Amino acid sequence: MTDAIKIDVWSDIACPWCYIGKRNLETGLAEIAEDADAPQVEVTFHSYELSPDTPVDFEGSEIDFLAHHKGMPADQVEQMLERVTGVAADAGLGYRFDILKHTNTVKAHELLHFAKEQGMQKEMTERLMSAYFTEGRHVGKIDDLVALAGDVGLDAEATREALESGRYLEAVRADQAQAQAYGIQGVPFFVIDGKYGVSGAQPAAAFAQIARQVWAERAEEPAAS
């Protein structure tokens, strides 16, 4: 039996294109699941902080943050967010930048590593991104993160201990070091089977195509003796 294709995804909870890219990837993989010889795929998420200097409690709107961070006029930022909201809607996501609570995401990344150990990374990634972009939930404070972890079935006490101890920070930093080694300068970034790099929130069809291509390449490889 052919081993599963490994897709490693570098993303940030607070990256609007990352959630769109995640959803498009899922849509593309759902499409190829109908193939007669459906590729087996294993997806792993890795940590990347777009704005590590962001305070946990940022005072102001997303427009305020981006205008300051990118040095763009507020009306230009507003147009940019409207465009992203439209692209998100096409992917089936209802972005609410008007209620979004901008925050530091390092603790959310620590939570994802804890969830990964419990076999719940996929569910936790979806819950965090949905909470952040569509529900206006805070994803930077431990109390809020423990509540969101509970939504996917993680133990509250164990989650709190994991976050308060900071023992997953090293894993977050290791992901970031790997991103640097790969030369990743923006997210989402997808590494397919350790040999193909795909940057940005590609359409679902593009993800389906590359997964089929890699699966076909696998089939052509001579069997190990």
Tell me the C-alpha to C-alpha distance, in Å, between residue 65 and each of 49, 71, 104, 158.
Answer: 15, 10, 12, 33
Quick one: angle between helices 16-32 and 121-134, nearest 10? Answer: 130
The model's pTM is: 0.95
Is residue 134 within 8 A of residue 94, CB to CB? The reply is yes
Is residue 172 within 8 A of residue 106, CB to CB? The reply is yes
> Which domains does the chain carry?
5-220 (3.40.30.10)
Kindly tell me if the per-residue pLDDT of 219 is higher than 90: no
Mean of the per-residue pLDDT values of the chain: 95
Is residue 207 within 8 A of residue 29, CB to CB? The reply is yes
* Residue 86 in tokens: 């439209």
pLDDT digits (tens, 9 = 90+) for 7-61: 999 999 999 999 999 999 999 999 999 999 999 999 999 999 999 999 999 999 9
Other beta carbons less than 10 A from residue 101's beta carbon: 19
Give the pLDDT band of residue 143 (cuts 50, 70, 90).
Answer: very high
pLDDT digits (tens, 9 = 90+) for 63-92: 999 998 888 899 999 999 999 999 999 999
